[in-house]
Amino acid sequence: MAGALNAALADALEQDPRVVVLGEDVGTLGGVFRVTDGLAARFGDRRVVDTPLAESGIVGTAIGMAMGGLVPVVEMQFDAFAYPAFEQVTSHLAKLRNRTRGAVALPVVVRVPYGGGIGGVEHHCDSSEAYYAHTPGLRVVTPATPADAYRMMRQAIACPDPVVLLEPKRRYWSKEAAELTADGPALDEAVVRRPGRDVTLVTYGGTVATALEAADAAVEEGWDVEVVDLRSLSPIDDATLTASVRRTGRAVVVHEAPGSGGLGAEVAQRITERCFHHLEAPVLRVTGFDIPYPPPKLEQHHLPSVDRILDTVARLQWDDQPEPCPAPYGARRA
């Protein structure tokens, strides 16, 4: 995936002289995760710019560049490193188009390596998607495969709106044989990664591969599991989401961010509101725990696993004639 992102940036720099890349160590070093490796040598230090360690200044500079006609692609080196830039992102980057009644667009891409699974510590493994998805004016997307990483990067750079591109760190080294192209699903479109009849797993980013593993393992239990990759977290593709759940009648939302106030709560609410009469069981979630990101030796317990997903699928209501609800205390059963 890191190579696909690198190729997308190189192709965008090659084809559009307005595109610039900036961030901490993106130039000479090529980025902590090598996503910008070789770009400074190829395109020069005026288009691939090493910045000071000042995230708020990086995004503020990108806003000014975009107002001047450039298309900046900003790297926040790690998820939690982006928090000092939060005010610039939410108060200015997200709002300037609305503030100017559409006169000033900010085509800025903010790349955020996010999530755990790499043996990192806190400040290096946050899943911060809910903060951005809660902010009107931002598009928030996350790829799950190398081919989609290339496609979404190219589409994000071509988008006139600011885009927060969340890159799942533990999938940086994932590989697939694929043609790298910007064609395919639109930036805000969800896709069905695996068709199934019995239950829909709704997920995104780093947990898509985990959900697919769980779907394969579920065959032995007699469940035919569908996997929907949201791809876009803001806006959410309600049409693909609801069409899947209406087919299967059951849904489990999977993400590694903490559950309380997480994106899974928003997805569960949308499913309940739009698919209520098609549901055969309550919508359930498999998430990270409501704790700061744990030390590396404990992260396997925090991250959604195949076993946790299958245990949750088993909790769905599978009986054709379920037992009646317990009678209220003191009441007689009919």
Instruction: List active site positions.
Output: 124
**Cα dihedral: 15, 20, 22, 28 (round 10):** 60
Residue 21 tokens, joined: 């890349």
Bridge-based pairing of strands 232-234 and 139-141 is antiparallel
Give the type of residue at 99: R
Residues 100, 66 contacting (CB under 8 angstroms): no
Q: What are phi and psi of 112, to 5 degrees?
A: -130, 105
Tokens (6 digits) for 135: 């902010």
Query: Any residues with CB less than 8 A from the CB of 334 and at least 6 apart, and which?
Result: none
Q: Which single residue is written with the structure tokens 């969800």?
A: 190
The helix (run of H) or strand (run of E) holding residue 246 is helix 238-248
State the Cα–Cα distance between residues 44 and 70, nearest whole angstrom.
16
What is the C-alpha to C-alpha distance for residues 286 and 308, in angstroms, rounded to an integer?
Answer: 7
Using DSSP's 3-state secondary structure scheme, residue 152 falls into helix
